Structure formats: structure tokens, C-alpha cells
Amino acid sequence: MTTPNNAAPASLARLNSKNLSAVKPGVVLPAYDRGKTTIGVVHFGPGAFHRGHQACYFDSLLAHDPRWAICGAELLPVGFAARAVPQDHLYVVAELDAQIRFRVVGSHREYLTAVGDGDRLFDRLMMPETRLVTMTVTEKGYCLDGTGKLDHKHPGIAHDLANPATPVSLVGWVTEALARRRAARQVPFVVMSCDNMVSNGRKLRGAVLSFAEACGKRDLVSWIENEVRFPTTMVDSITPAADDALMQKVADAVGLRDEAPVQRESFLQWVVEDVLGEDAPDLARVGISLTHDVAAYEFAKLRLLNGAHSTLAYAGLLLGYESVGAAMGDARLVGIVERMMREDIVPTLPPTPGLEFSSYIDDLLKRFRNPALTHRLYQIASDGSQKLPYRILGSMADALAAGRSVERFAVGIGAWMRFVAREAKAGREFQDPLSPKLVEIGKACTGKAKDDLPRFLALKDVFTAEMAGNPRFREAVGTVYEQFDAILRPKN
């Protein structure tokens, strides 16, 4: 979770339950009595995305059904509780778009840190009222290997396999909590991944089963297989990290000081696999789409939106831009990204009733140009080794198999390699779980594809052996890698 450097204007009173009556007119307030709500959801990873997305939907839901307040659970202590508790867990979401709207969100009622509040978190997960466990822990939080299976050698997983009662990983926590519920003869909770991964529900289910199996808990494995639901979901809302400018905007609009605000676009979408069971919250009532075919939405969103984002991020940073909006002013780059979406990605997507790709792409380009939001390219560039397989390499594999061109896909991949080399040589830290290895590769780069490409392609968590060995793939990526400037910055 990103923390702005400066506090909001210190002279203003702090946002909290007592001060809600002082909120300026026009700001949307919780439409329910928070004191009458009960916690029905534990959410792992209550960062900005979750608080701007799911917590807003549940804020709307609480006006109809008080059973679905949220307990935020952080696996690592990031110091957020110190900001949330004095505000009684209230915070402002600024919807920054053609129309600007400020909303105080009240759906969070509790905040626990796995390290420190471990017993309380288990108690919360054991409560019969806790019916939904959701998570946004990013791709790396699932500890999967390059094939999408649980990586038993991952330090967090290895720790938890040896010490299942004191887990540190998401998969360890979910499995142990399910084991305890089963032992207590309680119904399980629904487990819902809200991360940007293809088949996120199935991947998490596979990881939890693999963990339980490795613990030798055969009965637990069958219970999970038969009783626990892991819906797949697609989540969408562009949510730039909070910054000092946001603090000021919120202070001006709300009239109170919020030290944990969130900014996002007004667009909000959530598609959930319709397998939640009978006493699930009425998600449809608050605009969440329930369907049996999430995959189509997931593919479209990950490949079109996130694929374009990552291409804009790496190529844009190399071209000297700082934000998505600035990169969208570069006609050559936008031309490549737009053709990649329309001509290269769309043919890889399954046709889906209700999803019209051409207008979906028009809307995406508009969302990327949103002048009210500054979405930093560095934020998107983080964790490239985890994101690229879902965002670009999957589309590329499909295009290669169908004999179609992969040149435009190669822009994001070649630019990522150049970005890694540039950051490593400049000694700048970059966020990626593979960063020690990437820094080593980046420092050794010569700028020649024949020397450098094999080093990157040997990263088994990123590139499948089939792809790494494909001559068309190597040619396309190698060309961008070596000739980025000539391709993206031609002299007139």
C-alpha cells in the first residue's frame, strides 16, 4: 500500500464516525447504520484497489443487508492500521473522471495483521458469520510456479508446510482456516480471488488443494474438493496509488482530513462466477455481474486492458513518459498499442455475447486518456515477471500457434527487457519478486539480442520452454530489444 509522504492539512479535523456530520454537502455518505452491521467478509490485502473496488460494492450492499461488513487482513504489517483505526476505518474514495465524486466508504469495520493479530484473525475466520474470504494479494501472493501450480519451494510455502498452524502465506492461511472450520464441523466460507490472473479461482483452489495434500491431510482435501467454492472473478477499475495531491483534493472537497484516501476512475466492473451458493450476498443487487462464463471477461480484460497497460508502461518509460496519460499523447506508441488490441488481441479472444470488443477498446482508450487521473507508469511496471505471462505472453502464444504476427506484442516484452537492463545499470530498485535475478541479468546486458535474450528467456517462471525456443518469438522480441529507438523514435 502506498503512503503519501506528507500528512493532509493538519489543521483540519480528522475523518471519523463522530465527525461525519461535518462532511461538506455533496459528498456521498454510507446509507446505513454502521453500528448495526456485522462482519461477513475477511479480505486479505486491503490495499487501494480493494478499498476502491470491492469495499465500494459492499458499501452499497450494506444498505440492503447488514451482514457483509469487511475485516481487512494484512499478511505483512504495513502500518495501515495506524491510519485506519483513528478514522474508525472510514475513508474517502475520490472518483476522478469527467464528473468528480467523493464518497465516504463505511464497509470496513476491522483491520487485523496476520503477524501480531494472528489469533484474532483465526477467530474471525472461524466465526460462523464469516461467509466470504476474498483477496487482492497480487499475482506473486499466490506463490505459483511458471505453470500456475503451487511452488512448494517458495520460502513462504515451505515455511507453512513445516508449520501449518502458524502460516505466513495466503495459501497457508486459507488452508489452515478451512482445516479449523472443518474440525469444528462448521460450513466452509467461500474463497474468492480478486486478482488479475487467468482463472484466478481455479488457480487458488489448485494451490490450496496442493498444500493440503502436501500436509498429508487426505480428508481435508476431499472436504475442500466437495464443499468449498472458489469462484473465478474479473475485477476492473483503474486505481492509481494515493499521493499528496489526492490528500489535498479530499481535504478540500470533504472538509475533513483523511490519511487513507483512495483515488480511482468512475468505471467499476466486477464479474463473478455464479457458484456462490444459497446464502451468499446478493451481489447482483449492487451491479456485480454473475455469470457462468467469467473466462471470456477475464481474457478480454487481462489481454486488452492490462496488456495495453504493460506495453504503455515499459515502452512509455523508455520514451521518457511518466504517466499513462502522457504516454497516450505519443501517436506512434498509441498507434502500435491500438493496432495490437484491435488486430492482434481480439482474434485471440473467445466471442462472448454481451461483449463487443470494438466499443470495449474505444472505451479503454478513453479511460487511458482520463485527464483527471495521473496513473504512474512505474506503478504498472512493477512485478513485470508476474504480470507479463497473463497480460501479453498468453496472447502471443495463441498468435504464434495460429501463425499470426507477433511484432506488436513484442514491443511490451522487448521494452520490459530494456527497462530491466536500464534500471539495473542505473542501480535503481525496482519492485519484482524476481528482482535479485533480474538485476543480475540486467547488469550483464550488452544491448545485443544474441547475448541478452537467452538470459531473459531462461527465466522459467516467465517464459515457457516452448515460447523461449520459438524462432519467430525470438526474432520479434530481439528486434524490438535491439532496435527500440529506431522503431519507437524514428528520425523524420
Return residues touching ligand CS2 (CB under 6 A): 196, 236-238, 305-306, 309, 379-380, 387
Nearest distance in Å: CB 207, ligand CS2: 21
Nearest distance in Å: CB 23, ligand CS2: 28
Q: Which of 43, 330, 86, 56 is nearest to 195 (CA)?
A: 43
Nearest distance in Å: CB 240, ligand CS2: 8
Complex with ligand CS2: residue 109 or 391, whichever CB lies closer:
391
Nearest distance in Å: CB 295, ligand CS2: 17
Where does residue 31 rank: exposed (0-12), middle (13-18), buried (19+ CB within 10 A)? exposed
Complex with ligand CS2: residue 196 or 232, whichever CB lies closer:
196
Residues 414 and 419: their CA atoms lie apart, in Å, by 9
Pairing of the two strands 91-95 and 101-105:
antiparallel
Complex with ligand CS2: residue 107 or 233, whichever CB lies closer:
233
> How many other C-beta atoms are found inside a 10 Å radius of the C-beta of residue 16?
16
Complex with ligand CS2: residue 172 or 307, whichever CB lies closer:
307
Transcribe 115-158 into DSSP letters: TTSHHHHHHHHHSTT--EEEE--TGGGG-B-TTSSB-TTSHHHH
Nearest distance in Å: CB 49, ligand CS2: 7
Phi-psi region of 272 (alpha: psi -120 to 50; beta: other; left: phi over 0): beta
Complex with ligand CS2: residue 257 or 375, whichever CB lies closer:
375
Nearest distance in Å: CB 92, ligand CS2: 20
Q: Which of 18, 15, 9 is nearest to 93 (CA)?
A: 15
Which residues 6+ apart lie within 8 Å of 278 measured at CB? Answer: none
Complex with ligand CS2: residue 174 or 238, whichever CB lies closer:
238
Nearest distance in Å: CB 254, ligand CS2: 24
Complex with ligand CS2: residue 91 or 297, whichever CB lies closer:
297
Phi, psi of 448 (to 5 degrees): -95, 130
The residue at minimum Cβ distance from ligand CS2 is 309
Residues 389 and 203: their CA atoms lie apart, in Å, by 14
Give the DSSP H or E segment for 42: strand 39-44
